[in-house]
Chains A and B, each alone.
Chain A
Amino acid sequence: MFQIRIHGRGGQGVVSASELLSVAAFEEGKYSQSFPSFGSERMGAPVQAFARINDTSITIREPVMEPDMLIIQDPTLFHAVNVFDGANTQGYLLINSSKTLSELGIEEMSSLYPKDHIAVLPATELAIKYIKQAKPNTVLLGAFAALSQMVHMPALEKAIRKKFPKKIAEPNILAAKAGYRLIDAIER
């Protein structure tokens, strides 16, 4: 079972990201599950969402305690929340930032991960470019596909089209593709 935990802030599409991931995995014939860390919906508050992908059915309901993939949608959270709590450091680390790991001050943790399991990309800037909104989620999902190969772009596109009306879906697909290309191009 592959477990994903997404950290972000209310309004960044964290919950939608986990949903899109689970739907994409479903589209590829896998079993998947996604759910948010539940709370009153407030813009800007730290938010988590979870997803699991598996070849057989999933019964567990606890939040993802030991994520194989950590997606950090907002790097300011490094100072607010222990995002690495329980993380499987043999897994993956995907960060939305235009800074380097050392600039982010997380080298101590990130050095535990295999180098080719880490991706840092300016997803917010790309989101603004493609969808004209500071919602980095679909860019990061594209990057997720490239980094982990747990889901693939065609399924992700399908999931985005299912969730959003065409006018919103198309720019988001472009954003996801941009995220994918950026990470896929990196020599590993």
Chain B
Amino acid sequence: MLQQISGSIAVANAVALCRPEVIPCYPITPQTHIVEHLSSLVKSGQLQDCTYENVESEFASMSFCIGASAAGARTYTATASQGLLYMMEAVYNASGLGLPIVMTLGNRAIGAPINIWNDHSDAMSVRDAGWIQLFVESNQQALDVHIQAFKLAEALSLPVMVNMDGFILTHAITRVDMPDQEQVDRFLPPFIPRQKLDTESPLSIGAMVGPDAFTEVRYLAHHKQKEALTIIEQQAEEFANIFGRDSGGLVKSYFAQESDIVFVAMGSVVGTMQDLINDLRSEGYSVGILSLRSFRPFPANAICNALKNAQQVIVFEKSFAVGMGGILASEIHMATQRYADIQGVQISSVIGGLGGRTITKQSLRKLVDKAKQGDLDAEVFMDLEANTVVRELKRQQDEQSSGPVAENILRDMGVVSASKTH
């Protein structure tokens, strides 16, 4: 059924169609509307046989998920940013224990400085946590991929994180096609746990593993993620057969294979890029996009296959490893070296959209123009206010007690400051 609703409500309704049995939550912007709506669905009886609990922290929330999933319930929660960091120990634990929990991450920046707006710093902070990490470009994909996430998690007995850009998607009201219960039931069978706390057949879960077996257990986690490369593709196909839509999969190419210049990106920015390349292609540019829909597992072969004809690759990402640079860019570099030995491709790493900074078509177009002329740098911070940075660096050079950086910069830029001007 076609509906004009917010991304959060779409996801909450899609999750409800998946018949979750346990949902703990803790509020954090920008995912809160999802769990608020689920609370109403449970309280009103629209979502039955489900225990919903507003717990006392994200750490408790993920721990609650761990207990619930280990006891055999289909389990869901959502978080973002600081919340994800606060639950971090349990995030690793859930994947280590192999529990098929599904979690929405309403992607948001990480402080300090505190910032509630969108970027991918939170998702990247758990890139090694052993979760499957999927990204969505639109609200339609967001709801579709959640349905696939449960099936994927349960097939692999691994937790799955659906990354959905905070505000840009969660708060945007767009048209979505909401599937009906019958379709979802056909796609997603009831949960049969691979391991379960059961009084009829008692198991111990979570024993200490020493040096003699730890490597093997960890290797199997890696192996499972590699298996996911195949299963994700199969499930996207199965999904398309039932729902008639292309959603999910490992990567999505928009003219990537036939273009000289190719953007690589994840999430909602792909939508703006699509709008841009439609313009550019009609102007005669050879430019495409490769959208990464699965970040973990990292689909190196699929990426290389899509990039093999590209001359210039612009890896655009909404986060970076401080002191190193683009995270996705370095992984793409590694993939092109190791898996395909793509010769002569130029890879530029572009960092943009940090902490909710608007990503405009105009700025993206400048990147393409620069790339076309061959002067796009290897590392670019898009729309960086260089003067502000230089001024602060000078201040630090001139004064030992130059004060807190964030407040100095806010003052320089004339933004309403969080603290008093002194």
Contacts and interface: CB of A to CB of B under 8 A. Distances in A.
Interface of A: 18-19, 22-23, 26-27, 31-36, 38-40, 57-63, 65
Contact of A60 (B2, B30, B272): B272
Given A32-B4, A40-B116, A65-B360, A59 B271 contact: yes
Contact of A22 (B4, B117, B362): B4
Interface stretch (B94-102, B171-179, B199-207): B171-179
A176 to B, nearest CB: 18
Given A38-B117, A38-B167, A65-B360, A33 B274 contact: no
A18 B4 CA distance: 12
A91 to B, nearest CB: 18
Interface in B151-189: 167-168, 171-175
B171 A36 contact: yes
A61 B168 contact: yes
A54 B354 CA distance: 29
Contacts of B168: 35, 61
Interface residues of B, number: 27
A150 B169 CA distance: 24
A26 B172 CA distance: 14
B275 interface: yes
A60 B117 CA distance: 18
A36 B138 CA distance: 16
Contacts of B417: none
B210 to A, nearest CB: 49
Given A22-B4, A60-B271, A60-B272, A38 B171 contact: yes
Nearest to A25: B4
Count chain A CB atoms within 10 A of each CB in B167, B171, B172, B268 and give the residue with the most: B172
B395 interface: no
A99 to B, nearest CB: 28
Contacts of A36: 171
B290 interface: no
12 contacts: A19-B173, A27-B4, A32-B174, A35-B168, A38-B356, A57-B175, A58-B174, A59-B270, A60-B272, A61-B359, A62-B360, A65-B360
Interface string B20-31: 000000000010
Nearest first, the 5 closest Cβ-Cβ pairs linking A and B are A26-B4, A59-B271, A60-B275, A35-B172, A38-B167
A62 B175 contact: no
B372 interface: no
B196 interface: no
A64 to B, nearest CB: 11
Nearest to A24: B4
Nearest to B117: A38
Contacts of B268: 61
Nearest to B7: A35
B172 A33 contact: yes
Given A60-B361, A65-B360, A34 B271 contact: no
B263 to A, nearest CB: 14
A61 B117 contact: no
Contacts of B270: 59
